[in-house]
Structure 1
């Protein structure tokens, strides 16, 4: 069986990180979201994978290539204009024969999740669902005896706690149904509308409810929770150099050619990539991922954060519950304020964050003693002057003095 991964979307709610990469390339536990999905498929013997790409597709294709490094074969289909999930699936019509699996590329799943779907297959189409207490923002399933009766997209009232996980097994005649799918009110062709249309025609839509891993990262700060969960599953592996006098506790991964200097105190789960330099007396606390080619100055403290890659963080800085993008140069004494139960404004809409410091995009230069208030973000290619307190979101290309 082939697997089709839908990876063409922009991820607008993950700005500013998705200004330079698609959502599926955002890192969790040192790997892009998409890589975790491919690994889960491969563990279930699904080695032929089609990626439907669109937004920033070159970065995806450059990273994964033909899939040899992951032990799979990857081919690509293109959705240059994002017109919905049914339209995305339609792009692979000439590439599949027989039953095939479809999965969204921006959810993290485990091998057990895929196994649950495959072992529970039934009906003309099989749909995977998960149980969630909070179903706001999701499509929910009304079912009877393991058969889907209706899919309700983002209902205003709680009618079910069974959430559509966006993972399906389709027959190849699904393309005939996609051709008949009407344009939704939001201007897209949704695969859930295709399925709903099949239900009305009397087709059998089997439901598999899984309790295995399914993590949905809607906003950029949701990556922090996903990162913490994924790091819990790693085992200790020290490939770099750890100087005498450094303390490492728990499951910590240190990549090749990385240096952990004397006086460092690292408590896992923590992931540190390749070619990193962790300065003397730095403190790295649980649920932190540090990407390749990153330099951490002396006496820096980082906890519950993601440092993407190619970042320099000056001495005496404090970073908590934050995501720092690539190619950032951060001077000493940088600090993030952290708060819980925040309302973060994005394009005039308030979004809830359980816990957040800041999100910093790519390519910024940040001066000495800069402090970012909780929930405020810095976009890309900004220059933030020394002594600045960031009280508001900073758009791309800004100079703040």
Structure 2
């Protein structure tokens, strides 16, 4: 039977693995079911039906499974379905140069099958394009639940559910979101979110344009049964801890960054341009027994440019049951573009070496260029100043 299926696929065997070339729905689904450690599936240009579900698609450290466009310049489109692609208990898996469009639920969903004893792990998502998801309700572009040791690199997510997220992480650990672009509306859903006990995740060199009511949410609000690892009685809990946002550009959004029920995050060397109400929010939405008040945020070396008519509460919103006195602000550059004398924010604690009211001389913000001119006094703050090798 296996030989007969292989015979239907344009396949090329290779020592140490095999490459399967597919060009239609049937052959794609057959190839996915047949994939073992070391298999590469190259998907031809064209359209494929969404609604693909796979369990236990697992490679090994030296033989990952790869699913990629045969022609990255003309990538295949997976269209529709409740979910474009749903993978459970995956391991050592790479997805590259695929387009997922028009799913009514989630564009790409990767999870642990509901048991964090067997998380999906060592997942790489590279150069994916995900758009027009939902559009109503909690529908995510990329949804990761119970995923560890992962990388999301160079992906573009546009227009997700109005109550969902561009990238949503629930109980995920040891991951990097890097060089990604997210675009939507200022007040619909959230951009990137890490909650449900998520930890040790870096969001690096991403660009978020009008990416929702909270462009980046560090923490959130999660049903207690969905935390990964599961909550233990008698311990202290948080929605997330040890998160980092660095080198990112955030344009618009009701709030650029929300710290929500977390215990420890660093936000540094980012450029925030014209948020519609706040640069930062400090919130507590999960109030069950054992949960710490939102605390220990470190906000340094950021460039924040705003307008007075788009600025509320001094740019910082602080909700009840939080611990804003534990936050640190240092060396941030604040500039009110229309009224420079009103540049000083209303921070919960004194800021060390902050700069207020001096024009950073952005090159061409109206055309999206938020780097600074050669004679800018703000050379050492913001996304343009981020140097991962030395900082």
Higher relative contact order (CA 8 A, sep 6+): 1
Please say whether Structure 1 and Structure 2 have the same fold, judged by a TM-score greater than 0.5: no
**Structure 1-normalised TM-score?**
0.22
More strand by share: 2
**Structure 2-normalised TM-score?**
0.22
